[in-house]
Chains A and B, each alone.
Chain A
């Protein structure tokens, strides 16, 4: 929800900083930018959170001119391509297709936070490439708590919502249940392989009794069968295992399914007319840059270092409440009161609504 800055000096400082950013920054333009709808929440509109929608631009010069003049706190473009992107209603816009969008949000993951989100987005990228044959993909750090992938290959832009939901089900393995024979489809084979490896590991570590409730005899028998039929088991055929083990396989199945599923946000992918953050723009709740990444560059990407958009010129701020954070490889522990901080930390705190500009 809207951050509440009441202070006009702070607001003009922010407008100046964001405007400066957009006059120098390279934003990563989506393809066919003139068929997209654009939407902005301007810094000017603070403390209200007013989104201006149904805007269209012919080219980069127009877009940049707009953003320097009305620096946005948040900048979005539509995943969809339209006949008339600036028309006021969906019917008038004339939908022509939409990129396929994926969103992994650190706060929706069961564990692991931002670094797990990064691992997930890498796996997602590789699945989209290997299984779906996607080639024209953009990976983007969201500027806050997650990562996005935009698939722009022409083949996928015509997909409707129900079809996109099938892709969600594939990636999240929704509705997939354990069967003794799971040899159709690579997602099932991935699970089968994980199950065999987990079973081996459990037995090796002497945990089979504890985790699966197996007796010594069953364990020994299972071990022998695994040795002789490893390939068959990995190919998803578990029928040869002793009954006592088979009865417990659903536990391993669930564990592997949870491990292998990709935690995307379903409605984002299913939506054919979503607004998505402009890669290269700033995220108004953090001041971080929504950084466009590649499969190579994401490996070493550190959000709290590489997404920092502002410099280290010292700035005076009044911190409103006690705060601890890590930015640009620096650890900050601040008490309420006057502080002189590098610009990047100052703008970050203002966007987080814990500091005001000036003494």
Chain B
């Protein structure tokens, strides 16, 4: 029966690649209405509460009891006596040609469940795609986290392999799960907590040892990327769009462009500024960071130039060229982004522990909190003032 073995997984995880084969054409009808109802509840939870309850069922892959005649359809030669997951990319040719069968009633129910689940998922993504980046980010982060929680509670045996194949994560099982360092870094470079720093891990022959929970944390990052992608519009999902509009209305619009208050700058930028003023030699990476930061707040090239004037090696022509380059007025015309906190740390330009991810995030918070609150760094380590 077509797609039978993977159906239970698709019902719980409709973002898996094989779903698209089942979804088919989107028509108004009972499945549509049902999916819309599910999507409404879930989207509201995701945006308002940042979390949706997803309850996976325990499921097993029927393939273990089967001789797997489908192997001849596998383009990656991933099916032998067993399944070679590291070769599989879930292209679904094997599932499409599945000859295993169960009672037609149960099959139909499975299939229907998958269609509802996949449709709900597509509807939500389509709805948030029509709005701001912030809403889509909120949706993507919340849904990815909710799925991670679901996976953690899901004891289904082949779940890690299926996720790894779907997202191209290189892994193999030992006592825990060994993930290739490149797959690990793609996720860990965006996770701030120290235990994800590579030196806190056992790294041998290119593989990092992880627990199952940690493995799902990596999957979560892939999910977040996937859910952040825009999707074309589907007709008939107005109720979902209304949910997003309501959410956006509540969110205060936090603009910082044009707000210029050096006293609210993050410690790293203050430090670079004060170094420049006192003619200390400032590294290239630090100059770049400050320039991109100031440009983001709406400072002009000439204003920024003034700040570099006291630098010991100041050369007006060169400095102007570089500032204009960063502003995207030169070269390839690409405007550069402000380096994140982790980049600042790597280049030794970070001088305090502010508990933010990005210098602009610090500034935005300070501006909107009227200069106090959470984003204030621990002043003892704030070298800019000492």
Q: Which residues of B contact A161 (CB under 8 A)?
A: 343
Query: Which residue of chain A is the closest to B343 with respect to CB atoms?
Result: A165
Interface centre among A89, A91, A132, A176 (most CB of B within 10 A): A132
Q: Which residues of A contact B332 (CB under 8 A)?
A: 89-91
Q: Is the CB of B345 within 8 A of A174?
A: yes
Minimum Cβ distance to chain A for residue B5 (Å): 30
Q: Which residues of A contact B333 (CB under 8 A)?
A: 89
Q: Which residues of A contact B343 (CB under 8 A)?
A: 161-162, 165, 270
Q: Is the CB of B346 within 8 A of A163?
A: no
- CB-contact partner of A169 in B197, B202, B285, under 8 A: B197
Q: Is the CB of B198 within 8 A of A186?
A: no
Minimum Cβ distance to chain A for residue B197 (Å): 7
Q: Which residues of A contact B346 (CB under 8 A)?
A: 165, 168-169, 174, 266, 270
Q: Is the CB of A155 within 8 A of B180?
A: yes
Sample of 29 A–B contacts (CB below 8 Å): A89-B333, A131-B204, A131-B205, A132-B181, A133-B204, A133-B205, A133-B206, A155-B180, A156-B182, A159-B182, A160-B189, A162-B190, A165-B189, A166-B185, A166-B197, A167-B185, A169-B197, A169-B346, A170-B197, A170-B198, A174-B348, A176-B199, A184-B200, A185-B203, A186-B202, A186-B203, A186-B204, A188-B200, A266-B347
Complex Cα gap A174–B348 (Å)? 9
- CB-contact partner of B342 in A132, A162, A170, under 8 A: A162
Q: Does B355 contact A (CB under 8 A)?
A: no
Minimum Cβ distance to chain A for residue B231 (Å): 23
Q: Is the CB of B198 within 8 A of A167?
A: yes
Q: Does B201 contact A (CB under 8 A)?
A: yes
Q: Is the CB of B207 within 8 A of A166?
A: no
Q: Which residues of A contact B149 (CB under 8 A)?
A: none
Q: Which residues of B contact A30 (CB under 8 A)?
A: none
Complex Cα gap A169–B333 (Å)? 31
Q: Is the CB of B347 within 8 A of A170?
A: no
Minimum Cβ distance to chain B for residue A110 (Å): 14
Task: Kindly identify, within residues 302 to 349 of chain B, every residue whose CB is under 8 Å from any CB belonging to chain A.
Answer: 332-334, 340, 342-343, 345-348
Binding site for A on B (CB under 8 A): 170, 180-182, 185-186, 188-190, 194-195, 197-207, 284-285, 332-334, 340, 342-343, 345-348
Q: Is the CB of B182 within 8 A of A90?
A: no
Minimum Cβ distance to chain B for residue A153 (Å): 9
Q: Is the CB of B200 within 8 A of A159?
A: no
Interface bits A260-292 vs B (CB < 8 Å: 1, else 0)? 000000110010000000000000000000000
Complex Cα gap A90–B206 (Å)? 30
Complex Cα gap A130–B340 (Å)? 30
Interface centre among B188, B205, B285 (most CB of A within 10 A): B205
Given A167-B198, A176-B199, A267-B347, does the pair A158, B204 have CB atoms closer than 8 Å?
Answer: no
Query: Which residue of chain B is the closest to A184 with respect to CB atoms?
Result: B200
Q: Does A27 contact B (CB under 8 A)?
A: no
- CB-contact partner of B202 in A167, A170, A184, A267, under 8 A: A184
Q: Does A173 contact B (CB under 8 A)?
A: yes
Complex Cα gap A98–B171 (Å)? 23
Minimum Cβ distance to chain B for residue A126 (Å): 13
Q: Which residues of B contact A159 (CB under 8 A)?
A: 182, 185-186
Complex Cα gap A188–B194 (Å)? 13
Complex Cα gap A168–B199 (Å)? 10
- CB-contact partner of B182 in A91, A158, A176, under 8 A: A158
Complex Cα gap A186–B202 (Å)? 6
Q: Is the CB of B189 within 8 A of A163?
A: yes
New A-B contacts (12) at CB < 8 Å, excluding given A132-B203, A175-B194: A131-B205, A159-B185, A161-B343, A169-B197, A175-B197, A184-B201, A184-B202, A186-B202, A266-B347, A267-B285, A270-B343, A270-B346
- CB-contact partner of A131 in B188, B203, B348, under 8 A: B203
Q: Which residues of A contact B189 (CB under 8 A)?
A: 160, 162-163, 165-166
Interface centre among B334, B340, B342 (most CB of A within 10 A): B342
Q: Is the CB of B182 within 8 A of A185?
A: no
3 A-B pairs closest in CB distance = A133-B206, A163-B185, A187-B199
Complex Cα gap A167–B284 (Å)? 21
- CB-contact partner of B199 in A160, A185, A266, A267, under 8 A: A185
Complex Cα gap A185–B181 (Å)? 13
Task: Kindly identify, within residues 180 to 215 of chain A, every residue whose CB is under 8 Å from any CB belonging to chain B.
Answer: 184-188
Minimum Cβ distance to chain A for residue B170 (Å): 8
Complex Cα gap A141–B202 (Å)? 31
Minimum Cβ distance to chain A for residue B213 (Å): 15
Minimum Cβ distance to chain A for residue B341 (Å): 11
Q: Does A134 contact B (CB under 8 A)?
A: yes
Minimum Cβ distance to chain B for residue A101 (Å): 15
- CB-contact partner of B205 in A130, A160, A176, A270, under 8 A: A130
Q: Which residues of A contact B340 (CB under 8 A)?
A: 162
Minimum Cβ distance to chain A for residue B38 (Å): 35
Minimum Cβ distance to chain B for residue A234 (Å): 16
Interface centre among A158, A161, A166, A173 (most CB of B within 10 A): A166
